Amino acid sequence: MSKDFVKDVTSMKDDFAQWYTDVVTKAELIDYSSVRGSMILRPYGYAIWENIQKELDSQIKQTGHENVYMPLFIPESLLQKEKDHIEGFAPEVAWVTHGGEEKLTERLCVRPTSEVLFAEHFKNIIHSYRDLPKLYNQWSNVVRWEKTTRPFLRTLEFLWQEGHTCHETDEEAHEETVRMLNVYAKLCEEYLAIPVIKGQKTEKEKFAGAKYTYTIESLMHDGKALQSGTSHHLGDGFAKAFGIEFTNREGKLQTVQQTSWGFTTRIIGAMIMVHGDDRGLVVPPKIAPTQLMILPIAQHKEGVLDFAYDLKDKLSKTVRTGIDASDKKPGWKFNEYEMKGIPLRLEVGPRDIEQKQVILVRRDTGEKQTVSLHNLETQVQEILNDIQYSLFEKAKTHRENKTTAVTTFDEFKNQLVQKGGFIKAMWCGDEACENYIKDETGATSRCLPFDQEKISEKCVCCEQEGKHLVYWAKAY
């Protein structure tokens, strides 16, 4: 392909951060604005989010949850009701102090998350065990006052869903916490083709106000980890602070057990960094706004355009199909849809029409094949399925190659420098060791995986017993 047509992207190997910035802007996922640290989600970026939303919303409803909408603002006194929570969030909230010309008597924070708003509402509407469980979800924007920001990964404002539930017992809340983590894991693996490690966050890394936090962690192409979704068992911390009580089956007053769980636009950053390459984005078919793009070749010749549009109508029944019949040069078009990571390209010209065939080109492998019109729909579907599968397998292999079990701290440091990725190592459970590792290596504890193994006797950092297997990594 002639260099003239190419929107240049920095090579991943040369500068991964610059590669990322190039891809998010040149694939037209986002644009910057004069609002520091915020991003504009452009049509293509938002369409990917809509597809993720649609699938996740359907899963959330199928698991019995109802959507609601809470206010954007939280009065300062309300945010302060749960001590751990305010401590965790106070440094990173935006404060509204004036409404119109008038100074407010109480500051309002722009929600960084909505536990306290849900808690106040739950107190109003829950009275008896008959009112439980309450299974709510909200789609919304939230704001966290980050100093350094990056599109999708860390922005002042982001879009997400936050689930909030109340239960009769600790056990039920635990089951819910697991259930929703599994919904997230399935979405990542089956739709976004991103393999995840499920596990528990350490005390230090758990959500401010939670009893414990479950997480799914994924690994980016550059060997850094990304927290991809979290599910918190809140215990009765908020419930006690807000007095969310109900008359139980024995006729006694009891405090509810709560959970909360969230999934954000951040995952689009993960999708980019797991599947992308030096030609741009690679979007998994299940989540792609356009799964197949038709490019008519020599379209000025008689019959080509009609044929291409007929094909589009036919394929649109089973596949999200686009067509570019503009007068732009073929090279520009090839480059553009590769940059946008559209899974499959279909080329059709006069000779193909004559021979009752088309050319299909895979975005992930670049593989070209000539396919008979006779069984085109079946072939397209099969190739899309294969792309979906291959992307997941490739990402999984990459993660496995970048996961190293170590038993000594020297090994830990060496492997992290040489290979990056996940370091599996035993930990005594002491926060001092966790902090030491972070300070010395830059790696943080990602999670205590649900699949625990004992790979050595001692903590990788001290002489104490190694109680937990931990995945460590540098992370976004």
Q: In the complex, which residues of this chain contact a copy of itself (CB under 8 A)?
A: 31, 33-35, 38-43, 46-47, 49-50, 66-75, 78, 90-101, 107-108, 110, 117, 120-121, 124-125, 136, 140-141, 143, 145, 156-157, 159
Among the listed residues 161, 179, 158, the one whose alpha carbon sits nearest the alpha carbon of residue 57: 161
Find where tokens 């970026």 sit. Answer: 45
Q: Least distance in Å: CB of 109 to a copy of itself?
A: 9
Q: Least distance in Å: CB of 49 to a copy of itself?
A: 8
Q: Do strands 403-405 and 422-427 pair parallel, antiparallel, or not at all (unpaired)? A: parallel
Quote the tokens at residue 431. Answer: 């926060």
Other CB atoms within a 10 A radius of the CB of residue 148 amount to 6
The C-alpha atoms of residue 201 and residue 193 are separated, in whole angstroms, by 23
Question: Between helices 304-315 and 376-401, what is the axis angle to 10°?
Answer: 70
Among the listed residues 337, 340, 318, 341, the one whose alpha carbon sits nearest the alpha carbon of residue 328: 337
Q: Least distance in Å: CB of 99 to a copy of itself?
A: 4
Question: Alpha-carbon Rg of the chain, whole angstroms?
Answer: 25
Question: Between helices 266-275 and 16-26, what is the axis angle to 10°?
Answer: 110
Cβ proximity to a copy of itself: between 51 and 388 the closer is 51
Q: Least distance in Å: CB of 134 to a copy of itself?
A: 10
Find where tokens 């979800």 sit. Answer: 137
Q: Least distance in Å: CB of 114 to a copy of itself?
A: 10
Calculate the alpha carbon distances from 257 to 18, 122, 132, 433 in Å: 45, 11, 10, 32
Cβ proximity to a copy of itself: between 158 and 334 the closer is 158
Cβ proximity to a copy of itself: between 40 and 432 the closer is 40
Paired strand residues for 395: none
Among the listed residues 138, 407, 162, the one whose alpha carbon sits nearest the alpha carbon of residue 264: 162
Cβ proximity to a copy of itself: between 69 and 317 the closer is 69
Question: Between helices 431-441 and 409-418, what is the axis angle to 10°?
Answer: 40
Cβ proximity to a copy of itself: between 13 and 103 the closer is 103
Q: Least distance in Å: CB of 82 to a copy of itself?
A: 15
Cβ proximity to a copy of itself: between 120 and 338 the closer is 120
The C-alpha atoms of residue 326 and residue 93 are separated, in whole angstroms, by 47
Cβ proximity to a copy of itself: between 12 and 47 the closer is 47
The C-alpha atoms of residue 85 and residue 388 are separated, in whole angstroms, by 40
Q: Is 451 helix (H, G, I), strand (E, B) or coil?
A: coil
The C-alpha atoms of residue 132 and residue 370 are separated, in whole angstroms, by 58
Other CB atoms within a 10 A radius of the CB of residue 398 amount to 17
Task: Respond yes or no on whether the N-terminal peptide bond of residue 71 is cis (omega within 30° of 0).
Answer: no
Q: Least distance in Å: CB of 421 to a copy of itself?
A: 33
For residue 455, the number of C-alpha atoms closer than 13 Å in the C-beta half-sphere is 18
Q: Least distance in Å: CB of 132 to a copy of itself?
A: 14
Cβ proximity to a copy of itself: between 74 and 293 the closer is 74
Q: Least distance in Å: CB of 286 to a copy of itself?
A: 20
Cβ proximity to a copy of itself: between 75 and 429 the closer is 75
Q: Least distance in Å: CB of 67 to a copy of itself?
A: 5
In 208-279, which residue ranges form alpha helices assigned H by DSSP? 237-242, 266-275
Cβ proximity to a copy of itself: between 71 and 303 the closer is 71
Quote the tokens at residue 341. Answer: 């990571």
Write the DSSP assignment of 337-362 as a string of letters.
Answer: HHHTT-SEEEEE-HHHHHTTEEEEEE
Q: Least distance in Å: CB of 9 to a copy of itself?
A: 19
The C-alpha atoms of residue 328 and residue 144 are separated, in whole angstroms, by 42
Q: Least distance in Å: CB of 288 to a copy of itself?
A: 16
Cβ proximity to a copy of itself: between 97 and 418 the closer is 97
Cβ proximity to a copy of itself: between 96 and 417 the closer is 96
Contact indicator for 445, 427 with CB cutoff of 8 Å: yes
